[in-house]
Structure 1
Amino acid sequence: MPQAITPESPFCTITQLVREHARERPDEPAMCDEQQALSWQALDRLMDRVAAALQRDGLHPGDAIAICAQNSVRYAALYLGALRAGVVVAPMAPSVTAESLAQMVHDAQAQRMFADTRTRELLPPGVTVVWLDAAADPGSEAGPAFDDWLAPAGVAPQAVDVPAEATFNIIYSSGTTGTPKGIVQSHGMRWQHVCRGARYGYSTQTRTLLSTPLYSNTTLVVFFPTLAFGGCVHLMSKFDAHRYLETAAAKRITHTMLVPVQYQRIMALPEFERYDLSAFHMKFCTSAPFQATIKADVLARWPGGLVEFYGMTEGGGTCILNAHEHPNKLHTVGQPAPGHDIRLIDEEGHELPAGAMGEVVGRSGAMMAGYHRQPAKTREVEWFDAAGQRFIRTGDVGRFDEDGFLVLMDRRKDMVISGGFNIYPSDLEALLRQHPAVDDVAVVGVPSVQWGETPVAFVVRRAGHATEEVQLMAWHNAQSGKTQRLAAVQFIDELPRSAIGKVLKRELRERLQTPVP
């Protein structure tokens, strides 16, 4: 049996752990999707065929491949097989524009492109593609089908030594703030995520359900630990609240990662109580603000623990809220993880004393090497303390409470400066959510002739409520200080979100380019 993983375990590659599980438990399930399932032995052999095919095609350790596809067992096996060959994986979002995808492929210097036919229209012209889905035409001039591209069964790849500092993947930022940047993560950084999993009950009996995309770090921080500990991963190609609950109940799921909007949609289902979720051991959440009221609802009605991770794909410092252990701290994102150094700095980069509010910076053993081929952008997010230690800037504004729990105020870039006063949109959003007509809301700052900036609320109105925009604005402003009053309320059918649930406030701002009074 593979040696037990602890938070202090020495570095090991995840692909080597897969090999050990395949030797010890060859016929037990390793992963599945809606169409296919793989045992540990089958996964290990498929990874070998992927690694051998990449080596046959001339890829060397440190070279990169790009993947643009929906979740599937083949996608996961390709990812792992590339890592076995020392090849860097650059997973890319099928939701981006064709122009953005071309930029990312170029930035990653990808030697091979893998996709499914659902992303065909996005692909750069002239690029030869290996098609991951079975529907691909093996005779297509655009490239071979995955099964035809693979090395023959039984072919062993050349062994590759992969050190901890070698690049594991390049994760492209979600694009909520503009052009995506390639975040370079090492094998050592990923190993830190695996070792952290020892605290959350991962084992060979783990059954993890994932409906967030494999190109997102949100998914990968649970996907890789599950496999490293010998559990089984169930992949959903697309999230659907009903289908999620059906799968969770039928497969006796023990672990999951969901983003806040997914928890919101699941908990809102009238039939939620009908599903047997008693097998759950631990549920995780990250990537976007998680309302305290939803956390409380999950704790009350969904068995198992609830853990919120606060941090960045870039790494640095992580805060962890074990919500089931601290139900009185649901308004926070928890305390710094063991071995993580979280501090607050002011606008000039000076470290702030306890109790002050400032930008969150963090340092840990899990930090990106930098943004791929963008040293200037890397320097922008780095902060060094008096001892010369490197920290990553989050762009979030927060403060520590008296017990050392971090309370987030807002994104620094989202803060509205109106007439010289700082306005935190999260405060206004929290008040608006108390109104019975508000189902969802986002507040952004827009140009103002009189104040420089002023807050405007975009609101998804709850079904069955006839409240008008001017009525809702009057209700809010009657309860707010003068500097926090809204200049306008606009009803919207749905807030624009990224695939992992982040509200795209940039898109909302672009709707109101004309300054308001």
Structure 2
Amino acid sequence: MFPIQFFFRAAERYPDRVAVKSSEETITYRQLVHRVAASAAGIHAADPTYQARIAVGGANSVHHLVAILATLAAGNIWVPLNPRNGTPELLRMVEFTSPSLLLVDRDLALRLKDCGQKMVSLERGLEGWSRQFMDERVPVPTGALSDVQAIKFTGGTTGVPKGVMQTYRAWSTTIVTQWREFGFDENDRFLISAPLTHGASTYLLPILGAGGMLVFPDELKPAAILEAVQKHGITTVFMPPTLIYAVVHEMELNPRDTQSLKRLIYGAAPMPSQKVREVQRVLGNVLATTYGQTEAPQIIACLGSQELADPRNIASVGRPTLMTDVRIMGKEGEMLPPGEEGEVVVRGDLVMAGYWRMPEETASTIRDGWLHTGDIGLFDERGFLFLKDRARDVIISGGFNVYPSDVEAVLGRHPAIFDCAVFGVEDEKWGEAVHAAVTLRPGMHVEKDDLIELVKAELGSVKAPKEVHVLEALPRSSVEKTLKSELRKSVLNARSTASS
């Protein structure tokens, strides 16, 4: 079964139920199907090729949602463009995937005006298609379940971005797995409080396929999120830890009625034990978490709110989900027993098809059928997974992946920089904050704020360093490798000294 069919089947069962609600409109399942079918016809008219790549980007909106669903319904490959990325990075993504059509909002259209690809306005374009193709029927999916549904980026580089090819089968597996783990049904109301280009997209079809409602808050700020929970009887929310912390702070200052909330799901970044306890104290026993990667989306493992209430599980990411095989592998490729640390490896229908046009990267990541996550972890005797460290250097800041090499490449282009290293440091607000250590060329000077602004302009604010440290030299090993662990330790020691 194709992923979009879960939505169409629910629309047949619940045509008059509300599917989407925003401050501007309320849309039933019947109305949403008509909009999606018309926009799918518009996309097909622009490019009738099966599996044509369609890039969709912009702020969260009903138009954005319809564009995503229409892309899936038309049998195309969805390429999400996150406006939080820097413009040069977005342009590289467009160049790399060569989409035949870009569906973007006004702000993103201005930023990508020089991309050389055909663009259609999310607002005016979709409304025009709704009038032009108002009598179109829902397309019948074709192709194979092994075909690609989406290309999502794990991070851009100054060379070639790495795009993950997620299949129809992986998406359908995500839907069924979320139903099993969270029990979504027609009474669920999901608040879209994370970007549609990011983690929130993995909840769209599980909620719509169950007959539930998607709700857009007036704005993505803590007060507005809590107001929406209270006003609309929200049952489920997905947020990165940083936003959860801000919501908890707002709740303590100005309490609202959140009794309808059953699931506050966090992912994309770890949450310290003390923060878990604080959230549970303020909002009740609603916190749950999932563990996944772009290469195996969202739900490799899951820890529900009842399990997270058990003190033994507070540092766990849960147990492997229904259709995913998760093991711990040793350095020699052997599978390790409970209690022993090794690399987390995954196989099953959730796993990606590979990296877009990067066969060597694919071969090094999927070996003998196992996806090598790069995460270090262990299982306890009860089968709960605990992540200990990441073998890769990816920094997870505010729920977003930040690749140090991306930032280092931008910093290295500044004429005053001789050498640099980018690393993550534990941070109460961000989970991990991006730090940069730099050494300068003889006789050169640069303001730290100028370096931060340089990265913001190129890669976006999420990937910009929160702090820059100017050093005489970077610590190195005997084989001249930069010791980022020593840099991190130095920052933490300085922080400890300052607080004592």
Band of TM-score, shorter chain: 0.7 to 0.9
SS, match of residue 278 in structure 2: helix
1:446/1:515 contact within 8 Å kept:
no
Q: Distance between the aligned counterparts of 2:186 and 2:263, measured in 1?
A: 15
Distance change >3 Å, CA 83–CA 298, structure 1 → 2 = same
Distance change >3 Å, CA 350–CA 269, structure 1 → 2 = same
Distance change >3 Å, CA 84–CA 441, structure 1 → 2 = closer
For residues 161-200 of structure 1, the aligned pairs below 5 Å read 161-175=142-156, 180-199=161-180, 200=182
1:227/1:233 contact within 8 Å kept:
yes
SS, match of residue 247 in structure 1: helix
SS, match of residue 109 in structure 2: helix
Distance change >3 Å, CA 270–CA 84, structure 1 → 2 = closer
Supply the AA of the counterpart residue of 1:26.
P
* Deviation (angstroms), 1:297: 2.1
Find out whether 1:207 has 2:197 as its counterpart: no
1:27/1:40 contact within 8 Å kept:
yes
Q: Where does residue 148 of structure 1 map in the other structure?
A: 128
* Deviation (angstroms), 1:108: 2.1
* Deviation (angstroms), 1:221: 2.2
Q: Where does residue 376 of structure 2 map in the other structure?
A: 397
1:266/1:272 contact within 8 Å kept:
no
Q: Distance between the aligned counterparts of 2:333 and 2:159, measured in 1?
A: 24
1:102/1:124 contact within 8 Å kept:
no
For residues 326-337 of structure 1, the aligned pairs below 5 Å read 326=308, 327-328=310-311, 329-337=313-321
Residue by residue over 1:41-78, the C-alpha shift from the partner in whole angstroms, topping out at 9 and shown as x without a partner, is 11100111112112222322211100121111111111
Task: State the TM-score, normalizing by the size of structure 2.
Answer: 0.76
Residue by residue over 1:341-365, the C-alpha shift from the partner in whole angstroms, topping out at 9 and shown as x without a partner, is 2223345555444422222211222
Supply the AA of the counterpart residue of 2:283.
W
Residue by residue over 1:10-44, the C-alpha shift from the partner in whole angstroms, topping out at 9 and shown as x without a partner, is xx234333333333332221113343332111110
Q: Where does residue 442 of structure 2 map in the other structure?
A: none
SS, match of residue 110 in structure 1: coil
* Deviation (angstroms), 1:233: 0.5
Q: Which has the higher contact order (CA 8 A, sep 6+)?
A: 2
Instruction: Give the number of aligned pairs.
Output: 428
Among 231, 234, 246, the alignment partner of 2:227 is 246
Find out whether 1:260 has 2:250 as its counterpart: no
1:360/1:393 contact within 8 Å kept:
yes
* Deviation (angstroms), 1:104: 1.3
Q: Distance between the aligned counterparts of 1:302 and 1:264, measured in 2?
A: 11
Distance change >3 Å, CA 372–CA 443, structure 1 → 2 = closer
* Deviation (angstroms), 1:323: 4.0
Supply the AA of the counterpart residue of 1:247.
A
For residues 446-461 of structure 1, the aligned pairs below 5 Å read none
Among 38, 62, 67, the alignment partner of 1:78 is 67
Q: Where does residue 321 of structure 1 map in the other structure?
A: 303
SS, match of residue 46 in structure 1: helix
Residue by residue over 1:242-291, the C-alpha shift from the partner in whole angstroms, topping out at 9 and shown as x without a partner, is 10000011000011111111111111225466211111122211101112
* Deviation (angstroms), 1:375: 1.0
Q: Distance between the aligned counterparts of 1:351 and 1:503, measured in 2?
A: 37
Q: Distance between the aligned counterparts of 1:398 and 1:17, measured in 2?
A: 34
Distance change >3 Å, CA 375–CA 236, structure 1 → 2 = farther
1:183/1:368 contact within 8 Å kept:
yes
Unaligned runs of 5+ in 2: 396-422, 440-451, 476-500
Q: Where does residue 291 of structure 2 map in the other structure?
A: 310
Unaligned runs of 5+ in 1: 1-11, 135-144, 385-389, 417-424, 449-492
1:72/1:236 contact within 8 Å kept:
no
Q: Where does residue 257 of structure 2 map in the other structure?
A: 276
Distance change >3 Å, CA 192–CA 441, structure 1 → 2 = closer
For residues 23-422 of structure 1, the aligned pairs below 5 Å read 23-125=12-114, 126-133=116-123, 145-150=125-130, 151-156=132-137, 159-175=140-156, 180-199=161-180, 200-216=182-198, 218-236=199-217, 238-269=219-250, 271=252, 274-303=255-284, 305-315=286-296, 318-326=300-308, 327-328=310-311, 329-347=313-331, 349-384=333-368, 390-414=369-393
1:288/1:502 contact within 8 Å kept:
no
Q: Distance between the aligned counterparts of 2:153 and 2:207, measured in 1?
A: 23
1:414/1:445 contact within 8 Å kept:
no
Higher helix proportion: 2
SS, match of residue 102 in structure 2: strand
Distance change >3 Å, CA 514–CA 354, structure 1 → 2 = farther
SS, match of residue 19 in structure 2: strand
Supply the AA of the counterpart residue of 1:147.
E
SS, match of residue 274 in structure 1: coil
Task: State the TM-score, normalizing by the size of structure 1.
Answer: 0.74
Supply the AA of the counterpart residue of 1:322.
G
Distance change >3 Å, CA 514–CA 401, structure 1 → 2 = farther
The two structures, once aligned, show a CA RMSD in angstroms of 3.4
* Deviation (angstroms), 1:183: 0.9
Shifted more, 239-248 versus 346-355: the winner is 346-355
Residue by residue over 1:452-489, the C-alpha shift from the partner in whole angstroms, topping out at 9 and shown as x without a partner, is xxxxxxxxxxxxxxxxxxxxxxxxxxxxxxxxxxxxxx
SS, match of residue 92 in structure 2: helix
Supply the AA of the counterpart residue of 2:117.
V
1:346/1:352 contact within 8 Å kept:
yes
Q: Distance between the aligned counterparts of 2:328 and 2:472, measured in 1?
A: 35
Q: Distance between the aligned counterparts of 2:461 and 2:175, measured in 1?
A: 25
SS, match of residue 310 in structure 1: strand
Q: Distance between the aligned counterparts of 1:195 and 1:314, measured in 2?
A: 18
Distance change >3 Å, CA 414–CA 272, structure 1 → 2 = same
Q: Where does residue 515 of structure 1 map in the other structure?
A: 473
Identity of aligned residues (%): 25
